[in-house]
Amino acid sequence: MTEDQARPARREFLGKLGVLTVAAALPADVARAEAAHAARATSPWDMSWVDRVTAAPYKVAVDTTKIQNDELYTALDILDTFHEVYGSDSGREPMQVVVVLRHFAAAMAQRDAMWERYGIGEERSVTDPETKAPAKRNPFLRPSPNAKESWERNSPIEALVARGVIFLVCNRATMGLASSLAKRVNKPVDEVKEDLRTNVVPGAILMPNGIFALVRAQNAGCAFYRNG
Amino acid sequence: MKTNPSNSRRSFLGQLGLMAFLPSIARRRALEPNAEPSPWDMQWVDRVAKAPYKAVIDSTTIAEGNALNLAADIMDRFHDVYNGPDDQTRVVIVVRQMGTPLAFQDALWDRYAIGEDQKINDAATKAPARRNPFLRGSSNEPARGDKIEPLVARGLTILVCNRSAMNWARSFAEKTKRDVEEVRTEFRNGLVPGAVLMPDGIFALVRAQNAVCALMKA
């Protein structure tokens, strides 16, 4: 997977703030704390999800590396089981599920338009269950009109987001996908990267990479779960 | 939609010929706020939460009782290092999927020939086990600490995936042409001492980690 050229450069950013200069003049631990605080305050990454996770009584991070439905079923199953055992507080789910989409799974967080424009279905060998042809839309986003069972209707990404599930998306994998797609459609890489970066589905948040997201979620108290 | 083959729960259900079970995920209740209190016994959480050191072991296969060996090792090492009582270290084993029979009593192993079904021999007879060989040692074996009975006496908790246990019951009911619900009740009541049924194994793993258990894979 290629590195993301557009990844925000933290050191450059800290340098702009003059934080490193200030740090030199302070005791090491104070300087570290100051620098961390300054970075937190203006980080280009949206970390607001951490507060939602911290506030929940029960929480889990589901690691998803393959482009498939299994982990979406798992997320639904965990939500439902905790609901069954602990009920809900004024309609709020007791369980906060975080799904980390990384490696191949990062494509699951792209809007329909990206799947159509860049042929993500062909690139990633994903067949649309409706057309039986390479998907020209994101088939993980909403249920098929033929979905009969409630778990088929309730596990697509839009339905899970509506129940509060947070999707964290590996930026590195997304930019890797953009590089492949750029070659495929013969477009400038930076243009495709920008397109993918600005077209993640509602409820999904780009993180520097998937491992960062997994570790940060566990540091916020999440259990770790991976199928298999 | 193409999906990659994986060792997921669906593969496991497929192995048992139980894909038909999946729609029952669908009946997952959206409980009303005024629903009855949960029928699941969650007292183990308090026991675990009180201990300063705790681990949960995910056991999806029997794997010659590796989960028990790991549990004994964790208890022993923490005892060595901190020189404290056993209740200072709490270990939870979650048995699910193909690991579920670890938690079945001798009578179930005998009646449904689980040893033959799972190709597990009894060290005492060298023949397919007609008892749960992980429950206690046999008379001609040296006493071993990595069996269920001594570990439970030291505070081990075994959490059993209800979904898997009911799938096993259904499978054996079909093989023996018995009433499924009758066999399910038999399995529900036929767990080893110290074992607690949970709605499913993933719930148990997540809840144990939310009680600050470290996660280990057997």
A54 → chain B, closest CA residue: B210
pLDDT at A175 over 90: yes
Task: Kindly give, in sequence order, each residue whose CB lies less than 8 Å from that of residue A68, ignoring residues fewer than 6 positions away.
Answer: A105, B1, B2, B3, B4, B6
Q: What percent of chain A has pLDDT over 70?
A: 82
User: What confidence tier does A172 reach under pLDDT thresholds 50, 70, 90?
Assistant: very high
Give the lowest-confidence range in A101-105, A213-217, A219-223, B36-40: B36-40
Entry pTM: 0.80
Beta-carbon-side half-sphere exposure of residue A155 (alpha carbons within 13 Å): 24
Average pLDDT, chain A: 87
Residues A55, A37 share a domain: no
- Under an 8 A CB cutoff, do A78 and B3 touch? no
Give the lowest-confidence range in A10-14, A160-164, B68-72, B92-96: A10-14
Residues A14, A83 share a domain: no
Residues A153, A58 share a domain: yes
Q: What percent of chain B has pLDDT over 90?
A: 72
pLDDT tens sequence across A33-74: 666 666 566 788 999 999 999 999 999 999 999 999 999 999
Chain A, residues 7-66, CB within 8 A of chain B, namely: 57-60, 66
How many domains in chain A?
2
The residue range of the domain holding A181 is 46-225
Residues A12, A52 share a domain: no
User: What confidence tier does A146 reach under pLDDT thresholds 50, 70, 90?
Assistant: confident
Distances (CA, A) of B209 to B55, B92, B154: 8, 10, 21
Q: What average pLDDT does range B5-20 have in this prediction?
A: 41
Q: What percent of chain A has pLDDT over 90?
A: 74
Give the CATH number of the domain where residue A78 resides: 3.40.1260.10
Residues A170, A68 share a domain: yes
What domains are there in chain B, each with its CATH number?
Answer: 44-217 (3.40.1260.10)
Average pLDDT, chain B: 85
The whole-angstrom distance between residue B71's C-alpha and the CA centroid of its chain comes to 13
Q: What average pLDDT does range B33-41 have in this prediction?
A: 69
Residues A113, A32 share a domain: no
pLDDT tens sequence across B74-110: 999 999 889 888 889 999 999 999 999 999 999 999 9
Residues A16, A77 share a domain: no
- At residue B89, φ and ψ (nearest 5 deg) are -125, 120
Give the lowest-confidence range in A100-109, A128-137, B140-149: B140-149
Report the sign of the C-alpha dihedral through residues B78, B80, B81, B87, in that order. Answer: positive
DSSP summary character for residue B84: -
CA atoms of A82 and B40, how far apart (whole Å): 11
- Under an 8 A CB cutoff, do A74 and B1 touch? no
| Higher-confidence position of B23 and B135 | B135
Residues A202, A111 share a domain: yes
Convert chain A into a string of H (helix), E (strand) and C (coil): CCCCCCCCCHHHHHHHHCHHHHHHCCCHHHHHHHHHHHHHHHCCCCCCHHHHHHHCCEEEEEEECCCCCHHHHHHHHHHHHHHHHHCCECCECCEEEEEEECHHHHHHHECHHHHHHHCHHHHCCCECCCCCCECCCCCCCCCCCCCCCHHHHHCCHHHHHHCCCEEEEEHHHHHHHHHHHHHHHCCCHHHHHHHHHCCECCCEEEECCHHHHHHHHHHCCCEEECCC
| Higher-confidence position of A155 and B142 | A155
Q: What average pLDDT does range A71-79 have in this prediction?
A: 97
DSSP summary character for residue B127: S
pLDDT tens sequence across B150-207: 999 999 999 999 999 999 999 999 999 999 999 999 999 999 999 999 999 999 999 9
Q: What average pLDDT does range A167-195 have in this prediction?
A: 98
Residues A152, A86 share a domain: yes
Residues A71, A108 share a domain: yes
Q: Which residues of A touch B40 (CB under 8 A)?
A: 85
User: If interface means Cβ-Cβ distance under 8 Å, which residues of chain B face chain A?
Assistant: 1-4, 6-10, 22-23, 25-31, 33, 35, 38, 40, 42, 199-200, 202-203, 205-210, 215
Report the sign of the C-alpha dihedral through residues B156, B162, B168, B169, in that order. Answer: positive
User: What confidence tier does A27 reach under pLDDT thresholds 50, 70, 90?
Assistant: low
pLDDT at A23 over 50: no
Output the pLDDT for position B1.
42
Residues A119, A19 share a domain: no
Residues A5, A116 share a domain: no
pLDDT at B10 over 60: no
User: What confidence tier does A184 reach under pLDDT thresholds 50, 70, 90?
Assistant: very high
Pick the residue of A62, A77, A122 with the most B CBs within 10 A to test the interface with B by mutation. Answer: A77
